[in-house]
Amino acid sequence: MEWADELAARVTGPQVVNDSKTPSGTVHVGSLRGPVILDVIARALRAAGHDTTLLYGVDDLDPMDAQALLTPDAVGRYMGVPLAHIPDQVDDGHASYARHHAGVFIDTFAGLGIQPDRYYWMSEQYAAGDMDPYIRTALDRADRVRDVYRRVANVRHPDTWHPVSVICEQCGRVGTTIVTQWDGERAFYECRPDLVTWAHGCGRSGWVSPFGGRAKLPWNLEWAAQWSLFGVTIEPCGKDLATAGGSRDRSDAIAREVFEREPPINVPYEFLLIGGRKMSTSKGQGVPAHRIAEVVPPEQLRLLFLRPRPNHAIEFEPEGTDAIPRLFDEFDRLAAATAGRPVKGELPPGYAAVFRYSLVDPNADPAAEASAFRISFRRAAMFVQGRLDTDQRAAEEKGSALTDGQARMLKERLVAAGRWLELYAPPNERFVVARVAVPGSARALNTGQCRFLRTLADDVERTTPRTGEDWQAVLFRTAESVGLEKRLAFAAVYAAFLDRPDGPRAGWLVADLFAEDSEFVLKRLREAAAGGTLVP
Ligand SMILES: [Zn+2]
Ligand SMILES: [Zn+2]
């Protein structure tokens, strides 16, 4: 986390931090890495005393292009049309396709504690004429732009190529047009049927004024023009754009040579990989950002993106794995370490800052947050599947009543665990207590296991253990006293209560059931030990 504080230490003067996104369709969870990094940079700058403005833009005059085809949302007849000019395909009140997908994505920001000072929409900037000076400069210096492309990216445009795309007056497409002449006020464009493979132009050609929203700059020039328009000083970008000769290099060169301004400081960041694959935008089977934000609470989601340095990829596969429980465990571990408690395993460098920047509220007291009592995620998942008064049970484990804040945190984890069990958890994390009758698998227990269950019933009737830890100790002690392998002892417990060979931590499972109904537990242990239902 020192990277953000180091960055804040080496800049001077007021800072403008910017990022923008093309709303091609449903936005994948990995796309949250940029906004989280952006927010941490802004927090670090402000903590260092810099006057800081955080901007977030939507590149909504971009056409629906090949990128949209990677999402489940592309609409064939609008290929090549600016995203801001395509009707919302979901009937929920947004003004356009762009407003819908950008809106659903941006709506996750506030919950994550990311609060840009201002959002901007490029369709509005163009329409207001804010981009006109840059369009004029780019056209006047078209030869210099072509030269930059040739030198930096080895892309050779013909001498007639001009760096602006007119929105076709006939078919409304912007992805299919090319400008071949510029007379100082008007541009001559052609809407070509075969300019790109993913959209077909209508064949129209003519002279038009490229100003006031009738045309847009190609991405590399638009990016550089944004830096000039907003005075951007720092802009992180994804690794795919930061390659040698790639998008960022081109825009940097255009900023210097065409718009005559030093480009902002770059903070390149790596991808979030799902099952080892990069997913920039969601395919049908991907994980949309707004969906994951419904399952993973904000502080754990921030941690997901902040634990590795920006230049390290993140592996995250929530589907059918324990990736989400592990994320919570890591959060709790960093909290414990920050609070000065001993923890297992190696700690990441700057772990206290990682914890601090994971908090949603930038003004929260990290020491108080770190030492707060938390029920583990896995324990919350057991609570959700039981029938307990969870506040009371949690208070017993804490040793005193929960504060309001702790009760809120417990509620948050119960909701998260419930959603996780519903959507992502592997089948063995879900369990149902066989409450009505002794399950079938208990009939297959061997004599050693039956003796274990009988002895266990006698022991707990006498000692009435209360907590999961107490119960865990009794299970171990009893297994040892009857000379039964621990593996077989635990299997007997799972068979008796869950009708399966494994399950969540046995001590806590039975402790919860015992707290709820001790008679049921004693009866079930004896019934299972007898190989069937006990006749009273
Ligand atoms: Zn909508
Ligand atoms: Zn056209």
Report pLDDT digits (tens) over 380-436. Answer: 999 999 888 888 889 988 899 999 999 999 999 999 999 999 999 998 889 999 999
DSSP for residue 375? -
For ligand 2, the distance from its centroid to the CA atom of residue 340, given in whole angstroms, is 65
pLDDT given at position 281: 43
Angle at 217 between CA 216 and CA 220, to 5 degrees: 145
**How remote is the CA of residue 297 from the centroid of ligand 1, in Å?**
24
Of the candidates 189, 191, 184, the residue with the CA atom closest to the CA atom of residue 206? 189
pLDDT mean over 271-293: 69
pLDDT at 282: 38
Taking the centre of ligand 2 as the mean of its atom positions, its distance from the CA of residue 131, in whole angstroms, is 23
Residues 6+ apart with CB under 8 A from 437: 533
What's the rounded mean pLDDT across residues 435-455? Answer: 93
Q: How far, in Å, CA of 308 to CA of 465, rounded?
A: 42
Residue 142, helix vs strand vs coil: helix
Taking the centre of ligand 2 as the mean of its atom positions, its distance from the CA of residue 173, in whole angstroms, is: 6
CA of 96 to the centre of ligand 1 (A): 7
Mean pLDDT value of segment 74-102: 96
Sign of the four-CA dihedral 303, 308, 313, 314: negative
Residue corresponding to tokens 């707990």? 460
Q: In this structure, are residues 70 and 284 in contact, taking their beta carbons and an 8 Å threshold?
A: no
Give the span between the Cα atoms of 18 and 324, in whole angstroms: 30
Is pLDDT of 154 > 70?
yes
Q: Cβ distance 347 to 337 under 8 Å?
A: yes
Distance 22 CA to ligand 1 centre (A): 16
Residue 23 has pLDDT above 80, yes or no: yes
Q: Which ligand has an atom closest to residue 92 CA? A: 1
Instruction: Answer yes or no: is pLDDT of 20 > 80.
Output: yes
Sort residue 138 into left (φ over 0), alpha (ψ -120 to 50) or beta.
alpha
Q: Of 413, 488, 476, 486, which Cα lies nearest the Cα of 445?
A: 488
Q: Closest ligand to 23 CA?
A: 1
Three-state SS for 188?
Answer: strand
Distance 166 CA to ligand 2 centre (A): 10
Q: Which ligand is nearest to the CA of 190?
A: 2
Q: Which ligand is nearest to the CA of 95?
A: 1
Whose CA is closest to 288, among 95, 36, 71? 71
Q: Which ligand is nearest to the CA of 168?
A: 2
**Tokens linked to 61:** 């005059």
What is the CA(281)–ligand 2 centre distance, in A? 28
Percentage of the chain exceeding pLDDT 70: 97
CA atoms within 13 A on the CB side of 431: 26
Q: How far does the centroid of ligand 1 lie from the alpha carbon of residue 290, in Å?
A: 14
Q: Cα separation of 493 and 489, whole Å? A: 7
What's the gap in Å between 267 CA and the centre of ligand 1? 32
Rounded distance, CA 512 to CA 249, Å? 60
pLDDT for the residue numbered 284: 44
Cβ 59 vs Cβ 21: under 8 Å: yes
User: What predicted TM-score, i.e. pTM, was given to this entire model?
Assistant: 0.89
208 C-alpha vs ligand 2 centroid, how far in Å?
Answer: 13
Is residue 534 very low, low, confident or very high in pLDDT (cuts 50, 70, 90)?
Answer: low
How many CB atoms sit inside 10 A of residue 35's CB? Answer: 23
Q: What is the pLDDT of residue 218?
A: 97
Closest to 240 in 3D by CA, of 279, 182, 190: 279
**Which amino acid appears at position 391 of this protein?**
D
**Ligand 1 centroid vs 119 CA: distance in angstroms?**
18
| Ligand 2 center to 203 CA (angstroms) | 6
Ligand 1 centroid to Cα of residue 99, in Å, is 7
Ligand 2 center–CA 195 separation, angstroms: 11
Integer CA distances (angstroms), 176 to 81, 111, 196, 361, 374, in order: 9, 39, 6, 46, 56
Burial of 383 (0-12, 13-18, 19+ CB in 10 A): buried
Using DSSP bridges, classify how beta strands 234-238 and 265-269 pair: parallel, antiparallel or unpaired: parallel
Long-range Cβ contacts of 482-489 (<8 Å, 24+ apart):
482/448, 482/451, 482/452, 482/455, 483/448, 484/448, 484/449, 484/451, 484/452, 488/446, 488/448, 488/449, 488/452, 489/449, 489/452
CA of 64 to the centre of ligand 1 (A): 16
Mean pLDDT of 184-206: 97
- If you average pLDDT over residues 461-489, what whole number do you get? 95
38-43: average pLDDT? 97
Token digits of residue 405:
């804040």
- Report how far ligand 2's centroid is from the alpha carbon of 227 (Å): 30
Do 195 and 220 contact (CB within 8 A), yes or no? no
Smallest-distance ligand from the CA of 204: 2
Q: By mean pLDDT, which of 185-194, 267-276, 294-303, 358-367 is the weakest?
A: 267-276
The CA 154 to ligand 1 mean position distance, Å, reads 40
**C-alpha 150 – ligand 1 centre gap (Å):** 41
Residue scoring higher pLDDT (241 or 532): 241
How confident is residue 1, by pLDDT bands cut at 50, 70 and 90? low
| Ligand 1 center–CA 220 separation, angstroms | 29
Distance 185 CA to ligand 2 centre (A): 21
Average pLDDT of the chain is 93
Secondary structure tally for the chain: helices H, strands E: 22, 13
Cβ atoms 25, 71 nearer than 8 A: yes
Measured in Å, residue 204 CA sits from the centre of ligand 2 at 5
**pLDDT-derived band at 271, boundaries 50, 70, 90:** confident
Please give the share of the chain, as a percent, with pLDDT higher than 90. 82
* Confidence grade of residue 84 (pLDDT, cut at 50, 70, 90): very high
What is the distance in A from the centroid of ligand 2 to the CA of 192? 7
Distance from Cα 213 to the centre of ligand 2, integer Å? 16
Q: What pLDDT shows up at residue 279?
A: 56
Average the pLDDT over each of 220-229, 285-294, 442-451 and give the range with the smallest value.
285-294
Distance 293 CA to ligand 1 centre (A): 18
Beta bridge partners of 119: 56
Give the chain's end-to-end CA distance (angstroms, integer).
65
Q: Is the pLDDT of residue 208 over 50?
A: yes
Distance from residue 73's CA to the centre of ligand 1 (Å):
12
Q: Where are the alpha helices (DSSP H) in 258-344?
A: 289-295, 298-306, 323-338
| Ligand closest to the CA atom of residue 203 | 2
Give the ligand with the smallest distance to the CA of 195.
2
Task: Say whether pLDDT at 511 is over 90.
Answer: yes
Q: Specify the DSSP element, H or E, that contains 2.
A: helix 2-10
pLDDT of residue 114: 97
- Written as one string, the DSSP assignment of 291-303 is HHHHHS-HHHHHH
Query: What pLDDT score does 276 carry?
Result: 67
Classify residue 369 by burial, with Cβ atoms within 10 Å: 0-12, 13-18, 19+: buried
Closest CA to 198 of 284, 285, 74: 74
Distance 198 CA to ligand 2 centre (A): 14
Distance 177 CA to ligand 2 centre (A): 7
Q: Kindly indicate the confidence band of residue 244, based on its pLDDT and cuts at 50, 70 and 90.
A: confident
Tell me the CA–centroid distance for residue 170 and ligand 2, in Å.
5
CA 171 / ligand 2 centre spacing (Å): 4
Task: Give the pLDDT score at 277.
Answer: 66
Residue 83: predicted pLDDT: 98
For 521, the 3-state DSSP assignment is: helix
**Centroid of ligand 1 to alpha carbon of 216 (angstroms):** 24
Token readout for 130 is 């804010």
Distance from Cα 104 to the centre of ligand 1, integer Å = 8
Query: Nearest ligand, CA of residue 80?
Result: 2
**Residue 166 Cα to chain centre, angstroms:** 36
